[in-house]
Amino acid sequence: MNNLSSHLTGHFVTTMARDELNLLYQRRFRWSQGRQVDTDAKLVHIACDNSLKKAGLKLSKCDTSRVAVVMGTSYGGLESYENFQDSMAINDRQPLAFANAIPGIPTTIPSLYYGITGPVMTLSGEAFVGSQALYQAIYMLENGICDIALTGAWYVPSSTSLRHSSVEKIGAAVMVLETANRVSERSSVHFRVISATMKRELLVKAVKDIQTPVVVIADNEQIIPVSSAPIHDVPGVGILGAVLEAVKIVESVGSAHIHITVGKQTLSLWLQVVANK
């Protein structure tokens, strides 16, 4: 097994109300700087923290210079920017709201909290941005740039985003990926990413017009909608819900080459269950 191959060891998917998010963040993190972060950053931080817990990882015991954070967003920071605009209109300037409007801020919050000094990257895009972040994280791992990658996507609705999407719930999906030499050191069941490619053409003509993610099993082109997943319709995040639906499929069959299609783009993953004893 290639020691630089990517292994999915933990993940977390959520949708929740803002009040629930604020209360959860306040209880979870006794962090002085936490009072300065906005909804986007709180959401990303909680999703990362829960993913690390599921992976059984304590970054305080890891070389944090070898940890990367790669997140994607379709409308990141817009709520804070709108708050800043509103404050300007009534001559009550809120510089912190302007600072939080930078889309990369939510990705930097976990790096500050955990002391991560490896690569930190935020991608901005449309429905497929979550899978682009995942693909970038896999590239970093397999090219020796990092040993651990936190990757995913988030969405916080704003007046701007609601002009383009009817989704009013906040949502996030985060995964923990590690290299083979790290996961071999502990007992676990995880998923090896044997290969990952992104394509702009559809692999299955029958789904060419669909705008929400579907999972396609390559062997028989079986189409599995993921509309039951709680984040399937969340902009930029829904595609990662499809990835995790694919993980469930692989868990039952042991290994599968799976295509995750939305719109005119496709992410192909070849996943395999690995059980360390």
pLDDT at 87: 62
- Across the chain, mean pLDDT equals 77
Which residues sit opposite 134 in a β-bridge? Answer: none
Q: What is the pLDDT of residues 119-135, one digit of tens each?
A: 999 998 877 788 889 98
Confidence of residue 81 (pLDDT cuts 50, 70, 90): low
3-state per-residue secondary structure call for the chain = CCCCCEEEEEEEEEEECHHHHHHHHHHHCCCHHHHHCCHHHHHHHHHHHHHHHHHCCCHHHCCHHHEEEEEEECCCCHHHHHHHHHHHHCCCCCHHHHHHCCCCHHHHHHHHHHCCCCCEEEEECCCCHHHHHHHHHHHHHHCCCCCEEEEEEEECCCCCHHHCCCCCCEEEEEEEEEEHHHHCCCCEEEEEEEEEEEECCCCCHHHCCCCCCEEEECCCCEEEECCCCCCCCCCCCHHHHHHHHHHHHHHHHCEEEEEEEECCEEEEEEEEEEEEC
Q: What is the pLDDT of residues 240-258, one digit of tens each?
A: 877 777 777 777 777 777 7
Is the model more confident about 12 or about 92? 12
Q: Which of 116-130, 181-195, 231-245 has the highest mean predicted lDDT (pLDDT)?
A: 116-130
Q: What is the pLDDT of residues 115-172, one digit of tens each?
A: 999 999 999 887 778 888 998 999 999 999 999 999 999 888 776 666 666 667 788 9
Number of C-alpha atoms within 13 angstroms, CB side, residue 215?
Answer: 25
Cα separations (Å) of 182 from 6, 26, 59, 167, 258? Answer: 10, 32, 13, 38, 25
pLDDT at 22: 86
pLDDT above 90 for 73: no
pLDDT above 80 for 268: no
114 CB-near residues (< 8 Å, 6+ apart): 59, 60, 64, 67
pLDDT at 82: 66
Q: What is the pLDDT of residues 7-57, one digit of tens each?
A: 899 999 888 888 898 889 888 997 777 667 888 899 999 999 999 999 999
pLDDT at 209: 44
What average pLDDT does range 64-69 have in this prediction?
Answer: 97
pLDDT above 70 for 98: no
Q: Are 86 and 18 in contact (CB under 8 A)?
A: no
What average pLDDT does range 195-216 have in this prediction?
Answer: 51
Q: Are 18 and 170 in contact (CB under 8 A)?
A: yes
pLDDT above 60 for 91: yes
Nearest to 47 by CA among 176, 159, 136: 176
Decide yes or no: CATH 3.40.47.10 for domain 6-186.
yes
Give the residue range(s) of CATH 3.40.47.10 domains in the chain.
6-186
What average pLDDT does range 73-77 have in this prediction?
Answer: 72
pLDDT above 60 for 227: no
Structure tokens, 57:
């990882």
Cα–Cα distance for residue pair 76/40, rounded to 1 Å: 7
Is the model more confident about 276 or about 219? 276
pLDDT above 60 for 207: no
| Cα-only R_g, the chain | 18
pLDDT at 110: 93
Cα separations (Å) of 125 from 30, 58, 133, 136, 192? Answer: 33, 31, 10, 14, 27
